[in-house]
A and B are shown apart, each in its own frame.
Chain A
Amino acid sequence: MSKAGPIVGGIAAIVISALVFLVPFAFIILTAFKDRAQAAALDFTWPASFNLWTNLVEVVTTRNWMLVTAFINSTILTVSSVTLLVVFAAMVGFILARRKSRWNPLVEFLILAGLMIPPAVVPTIWLMQGLGLFGKLHGLVLIEVAYNLPFSIILYRAFIATIPRELDEAAIIDGARPLDVFFRVILPLLWPVTVTNIVVQSVGIFNDFTNPLYYLPGNQNATVQLTLYNFQSQFNTSYNLLFTNILLITIPPLIVFLFFNRQIVAGMTAGAVKG
Chain B
Amino acid sequence: MAGLDLKDLRKNYGTVEVIKGVDLSIDHGEFVVFVGPSGCGKSTLLRMIAGLEEITGGELWIGDRLCNTVEPRDRGIAMVFQNYALYPHMTVYDNVGFGLKLAKTPKAERDRRIREAARILQMEHLLQRKPSQLSGGQRQRVAIGRAIVRQPEVFLFDEPLSNLDAALRVETRMEIAKLHQDLGTTMVYVTHDQVEAMTLADKIVVLDRGVVQQVGSPIELYQRPANLFVAGFIGSPKMNLLPATVDAVEGDIVRVSSRDLAATAIRARSDGLKKGDSITLGVRPHALVPNQNGNVVGQVALVERLGNETNVSVRLPGGTPLMVVLDGDRALRLGESIILGFDPAQALLFDQSGVAREPL
CB within 8 Å for A173 and B89 given contacts A166-B83, A180-B102 = no
For residue B347, CB closer than 8 A to chain A, the reply is no
- What are the 5 tightest A-B residue pairs by CB atom distance, in nearest-first order? A175-B73, A174-B99, A166-B85, A170-B85, A175-B102
B73 and A172 within 8 A (CB): yes
- Among the listed stretches B74-82, B222-230, B305-313, which one makes contact with chain A, having 4 or more residues with CB under 8 Å of it? B74-82
Interface pair A174/B83, CB less than 8 Å apart: no
A: number of interface residues (CB 8 Å): 17
Q: Report whether over half of chain A's contact residues are helix, strand or loop; otherwise say mixed.
A: helix
| B52 engages A172 (CB within 8 Å) | yes
A174 touches B102 (CB 8 A): yes
Binding site for B on A (CB under 8 A): 164, 166-167, 169-176, 180, 184-185, 188-189, 191
Which A residues touch B150, using CB under 8 A?
A: 174-175
Interface contact B72-A172, CB-CB below 8 Å: yes
For chain B, give the interface size range.
Answer: 20 to 34
> Which B residues are CB-close (under 8 A) to A174?
73, 98-99, 102, 146, 150
**Overall SS of chain B's interface:** loop
With A170-B86, A171-B98, A173-B50 already in contact, 18 other A-B pairs whose C-beta atoms are closer than 8 Å: A164-B85, A166-B83, A166-B85, A169-B79, A170-B79, A170-B81, A170-B146, A171-B87, A173-B77, A173-B78, A174-B73, A174-B98, A174-B99, A174-B102, A175-B102, A176-B102, A180-B102, A189-B89
Whether B88 is near chain A, meaning CB under 8 Å from some CB there, is: yes
Cβ-defined partner of B99 (8 Å) among A166, A175, A189, A191: A175
Q: How far is the CA of A106 from the CA of B167 in the complex (A)?
A: 51
A/B interface sample: 19 pairs, CB < 8 A? A166-B81, A167-B85, A169-B79, A169-B81, A170-B79, A170-B86, A171-B87, A171-B98, A172-B52, A172-B72, A172-B73, A173-B72, A173-B78, A173-B99, A174-B150, A175-B73, A175-B102, A176-B102, A184-B98
Closest residue on chain B to residue A189 by CB atoms: B89
**A-facing mask of B212-229, CB < 8 A → 1, else 0?**
000000000000000000
A176 proximity list for chain B (CB < 8 A) = 73, 98, 102
Interface status of B360 (Cβ within 8 A of chain A)? no
Q: Does B331 contact A (CB under 8 A)?
A: no
Of chain A, the residue at the smallest CB distance from B97 is: A174
Chain B residue at minimum C-beta to C-beta distance from A174? B99
| Smallest beta-carbon distance B358→chain A, Å | 41
